[in-house]
Amino acid sequence: MGLLDGKKTLIIGVANDHSIAWAIAQAFVREGAALALTYVNEAIEKRVRPLAASLGVDTVLPCDVTRDDDVAALFDNLRAQWGALDVVVHAVAFAQREDLKGRFVDTSREGFRLALDVSAYSLVAVARAAEPLLAPQHGSILTLSYFGAEKVVPGYNVMGVAKAALEASVRYLAWDLGSQGVRVNAISAGPIRTLSSAGITGFKTMLHHYEERAPLRRNVTADEVARAALFLSSDLGDGITAEILHVDAGYNVVGM
């Protein structure tokens, strides 16, 4: 028996076969989840559909999380197909490349707005649209964060501010939805080579730094993050909400 047997699960943010969201999708299907995936545009659709097919997943739907109509249409489709929903995984973040270089103080107004909209407000929009579908007393919403939300990580810049807003949103959403038994959590993952991490200046140096200084003396893998997501999204995590779970080989406890 799988940990997610019979659970209807939506994952927003699979970009390619190197993304953390893809590792989560694989883990969820292995544990018996019925899965739906999204894509933001035609280029991503061409990557996501073959990945979905490899898992036997037929439900692949469009959604640009910056468009309320897209978010509403996504959940309308899921309501028509499934009637209800057990788990939502939000794995979406974006900042303009020029805002991940140089100094944070030079972030443009539009760059700041875009990063906060895609990376933080989208969780609020998704939670609001998902709320009527989520199973009472057992619903789960999970998002992905990073240590740059808590401490300055040179080069992470506006994305660190966006992730800080995301983590605060997790706590407020957990309060709002908790009376219905819906849990809202985040995983703060260590640095992992993905399409999005390629835009961070000095990312290779960051990987080496973690490997040298984290208590486990290594970096984490996408599969390890996926197993943590599985735990938080399954009945094993029923008593956990408003939590930011660090999956970073212990790096977050190191002061010097």
Residues designated as active site: 146, 156
State how far the Cα of 147 lies from the Cα of 188, in Å rounded to an integer. Answer: 6
Q: Which residue has the tokens 């443009």?
A: 108
Which run of H or E residues covers position 71?
Answer: helix 68-82
Q: Any idea which residue has 């929009």 for tokens?
A: 125
> Can you state the percent helix, strand and coil of the chain, rounding each to 5?
50, 15, 35
134: β partners: 85
8 A C-beta contact, residue 61 and residue 72? no
Say which DSSP state 88 is in: E
Q: Environment class of residue 82 by beta-carbon count within 10 Å: exposed (0-12), middle (13-18) or buried (19+)?
A: middle
C-alpha span between 52 and 176 (Å, rounded): 33
Spatial distance between the Cα atoms of 220 and 229, rounded to a whole number of angstroms: 14
Quick check: helix, strand or coil at residue 190?
coil
Helix pair angle (157-178, 109-116), 10° resolution: 40
In which residue are the tokens 């900042």 written?
Answer: 95
